[in-house]
Structure 1
Amino acid sequence: MKTISQQSGKRCCADHIRIVLIIGTTAFCSSLDAAEWIVDGTVNQSLSYNDNVRMLPENAEGSVVYNLTPTLNFARMTEVWDIQGRASYGVQHYTDIEELDQNPQDYGLSTVYRTERSNTGLSASYSIVPSQNFAEQDTGNFATNAKRNNLTVTPTYSYRFTELDSLISSASYSKSTYSNPGSGNNDTIINNFNDNEVKSINVGWQRQWSELFAQSISVFYSNYNSTGRINSESNSYGINLTSSYQLSEEWQFSGTIGGRITDTSIDTVIIPGLLTAINQNTSEGFLTDIGVHYKGENLSSNFGLSRSLVPSGQGQLTEQTRVSLDFSYRITERLSSGLTASYQETDSVSDINGGLGQSRTNTWVSPNINWELTQDWLLSASYAYRNQDRKNPDRTADSNIFMLTINYNWPGLSISR
């Protein structure tokens, strides 16, 4: 009988470890040889005047606003693995309403790993931004100086079974918290902000009919949970059908249409520890996201129509219907003009608004003119009109914004190894 001594066993194990290390080092070095490192950045500065910063129906407050947002981007790309990241820390200063001064921050990291048949991705972002900057999409409250801290993590996975068919899947976790609500004059601050969490999962099947045409069908589930003065939970289930078609070199169409069912439970504290109002509701609706894009020699345009479920810091899940239009026309090689316009309707999914103003309409119209000073410097002048009409209680307000912006795009460094 042949025996192997403990010493020879250790030597054999060490040899195997050396072989694994050599293979791993070789693979890593080869990926380094094929890797490309990219670092670039932007610096955006704007000086504007807003004649109704808080969007008040009366006693409007105007202010000059200065924004400075430097952003640093980096990326590492190989044949199978990409990593991208960004970081920005800015300044937002109001000369006449200094309690609104803040320092917006945004950090993000994403990675994708590819094999012959599959793609595995993971992205994460963290931001600290003025709630006022996202009031149109979020709370409808432009009067606050609260900060919104948001963390989002999104894993994705796709697997190609055949040349035409693929399994697609994604999940998402998002948490938003609100801090430093502050106070304002004339009872303008409404600080009924609720922290909230959103979890969702989406699984579907995609078929690439041709190089120009693709379709997919998917099912989804999402959970919205909000805590604060209002404790609410919404569970949504639905199905979506998506199509993407390259009509020509100039025209591209993408569209999603589907349906959803949402079960909502809302507990509203009327007298802490004594009286709580409980409401339960089931609603149905359709979802859509349609885009038509045109890009010509001098003219480009984008049209969008969407209806989607959007979490709100007011304590309820909302349904938003939005129509947007974007035009850009190149007058000369360095001079161009454009127009952006949008109309948005926001309502609570449960139809229980509770006097918090979730039901509202927002309108935005902004013409602009842009001058490319150099390849890296862009000067823009724009005017924007915005209007908000809130229901329950009824309050209508608008504002005019005049803005001058200068952007610097740092081309950065690119190193291939």
Structure 2
Amino acid sequence: MACIGFGKDAAAVEWMLKGSLNQQVEYNDNISMNPVRNDSVVGYVLTPTLQASRKTRVLDIAFEGQGDIRRYDDSLWDCDKYNLRLNSDYRTKRSVFSLKGEYAVSCTYAQQILDTGLLLPNSQTDNYQLAPSWVWQWTPRDQLILDASYSRTSYSIPLDGIDASVSNDFLNFSGNETYTVNLGGNHEWSRRLSLNGKFYFSHIRYTGGVDASAQNLFGFQLGANYTINRSWTVSAAGGPIWIDETRSNSADVPSGQSPSLSLGSAANITLSYDDRLSQFSAGFSNAVNPSAIGQTLQTNSIFANYSYHLTRHLVLDFTSNFTRSESIEGQPSGDLTGQFDRSYFSVAAGIAWEFAKNWRLKGSYIYSWQDFQQDNQDFQSDLQARNLFVGTSDSNAVTVFLNYSWDGIRHSR
């Protein structure tokens, strides 16, 4: 696809190169979300981003590279991340063919919070993802969509700073390989209402953990998007998911496998408001996703976001999110695979000032709360490692963020 994009093309061509540089100073009184003792840190975050793109009448190609460098007064929590992305679209009269690829190396703790809430210092995640898709304009009001994706995630965890009495098996997070295929469509019922639906199949195979498991997920979703008026819109979608799982105590002993079938669900409901001075969105989501502990989790989330322009260059914003994650029904217990129950809540308030062209200064306060439970007694007895205690914990964080956006270089011919 990249070779096609940079070949000879008679259509008009536009090149663009742009970037940004973000700097952040933060204080967190419990970065590990540890319920026994607080790990307070002061840190500096540097995030450079560079984007390059080439557009013609039939083909768009965009590359993006991003770094995330974190340094703290406690070097145990130092972290480096980089991310490379490729997006390409090829258009014909009635079709759009797309290819998206991504490679990321990450140890950011925001990802661990979203995944399981078990925060390990210096743990590194490698992720590859490739996603082709095809959209066909069947009729002026109907679209047919076929897309697929492949992703692979792996973990490496240095034992520096971890209690030596803890079993290495416990610290061996499970990576996974995931294949997904979706077949769906959109129908424009009216100028305000559009309907959508899809059938999907996903195969998840866990790697690197104590247990070996594979799961097939299949189901369907139906949904709609409705524009209430100029300011208000609502969207909703949902459907059942069947999970067919096979697990064994060792990847080398297939005779120990035992299948199980359970039922989950997926749903998304969002209400949005947008006018000249304020934006608001709130909603609910329910999803089934793989996790670092070798389990597929059913996750329910409720969120609300609000921002208001106090002046042309001064913006006040609030965000909040509550998440509840549980092991899907029917998963057996093991060293890492006992019933997983976790509740997580965060709320943030910030004010941003665009004091000059391309410059933005923002200060924010973030409160986080977590309750993590595990019913496996052997698992609980091993939780002597730093940052891996069962129980209730919270943290307070204050950040000052400075962003510079480079308009870049544009060239057309």
**TM-score (normalizing by structure 1):** 0.87
Answer yes or no: is the 8 Å Cα contact 1:140–1:358 preserved in 2: no
Answer yes or no: is the 8 Å Cα contact 1:53–1:143 preserved in 2: no
Structure 1 pair 355/250, CA: closer, same or farther in 2 (3 Å)?
A: farther
1:415 deviation in Å? 1.2
- Structure-2 separation of matches of 1:413 and 1:159: 34
Deviation string for 1:319-363 (max 9, x for gaps)?
111111111011111111111000001112244464647321111
1:274 deviation in Å? 9.9
Tell me what 2:61 maps to. 83
Task: Give the secondary structure class of the aligned counterpart of 2:115.
Answer: coil
Query: Which amino acid counterpart does residue 186 of structure 2 have in structure 1?
Result: Q
Of the three residues 235, 256, 260, the one matched with 2:216 is 235
- Structure-2 separation of matches of 1:214 and 1:53: 43
- Structure-2 separation of matches of 1:321 and 1:273: 35
Tell me what 2:133 maps to. 156
Task: Give the secondary structure class of the aligned counterpart of 1:181.
Answer: coil
Tell me what 2:78 maps to. 101
Tell me what 1:196 maps to. 176
Work out whether 1:62 is the aligned partner of 2:43: no
Q: State how many pairs are aligned.
A: 387
Tell me what 2:397 maps to. 401
Q: Which runs of 5 or more structure 2 residues have no equivalent in the other structure? A: 375-379, 381-389
Bigger shift: 359-368 or 273-282? Answer: 273-282
CA RMSD of aligned residues (A): 2.3
Deviation string for 1:150-181 (max 9, x for gaps)?
01111110112211122111101000011243
Of the three residues 89, 93, 96, the one matched with 1:119 is 96
- Structure-2 separation of matches of 1:316 and 1:131: 21
Deviation string for 1:169-203 (max 9, x for gaps)?
11010000112433335679962301211110000
Deviation string for 1:190-236 (max 9, x for gaps)?
62301211110000122122333211221000011102212111111
Answer yes or no: is the 8 Å Cα contact 2:76–2:121 preserved in 1: no
Structure 1 pair 222/355, CA: closer, same or farther in 2 (3 Å)?
A: same
Deviation string for 1:36-56 (max 9, x for gaps)?
111111111111011111111
- Structure-2 separation of matches of 1:84 and 1:386: 36
1:100 deviation in Å? 2.3
Bigger shift: 147-156 or 85-94? Answer: 85-94
Query: Which amino acid counterpart does residue 337 of structure 1 have in structure 2?
Result: L
Tell me what 2:284 maps to. 305
- Percent identity between matched residues is 29
Q: Which runs of 5 or more structure 1 residues have no equivalent in the other structure? A: 1-23
Answer yes or no: is the 8 Å Cα contact 1:177–1:194 preserved in 2: yes
Equivalent runs, 1:199-210 vs 2, <5 Å: 199-210=179-190
1:140 deviation in Å? 2.1
Answer yes or no: is the 8 Å Cα contact 2:265–2:288 preserved in 1: no
**TM-score (normalizing by structure 2):** 0.88
Task: Give the secondary structure class of the aligned counterpart of 2:340.
Answer: coil
Larger radius of gyration: 1
Structure 1 pair 161/383, CA: closer, same or farther in 2 (3 Å)?
A: same
- Structure-1 separation of matches of 2:39 and 2:282: 34
Structure 1 pair 145/166, CA: closer, same or farther in 2 (3 Å)?
A: same
Deviation string for 1:40-77 (max 9, x for gaps)?
11111111011111111112111112110100011111
Task: Give the secondary structure class of the aligned counterpart of 1:257.
Answer: strand
- Structure-2 separation of matches of 1:367 and 1:131: 21
- Structure-1 separation of matches of 2:263 and 2:145: 25
Structure 1 pair 399/87, CA: closer, same or farther in 2 (3 Å)?
A: same
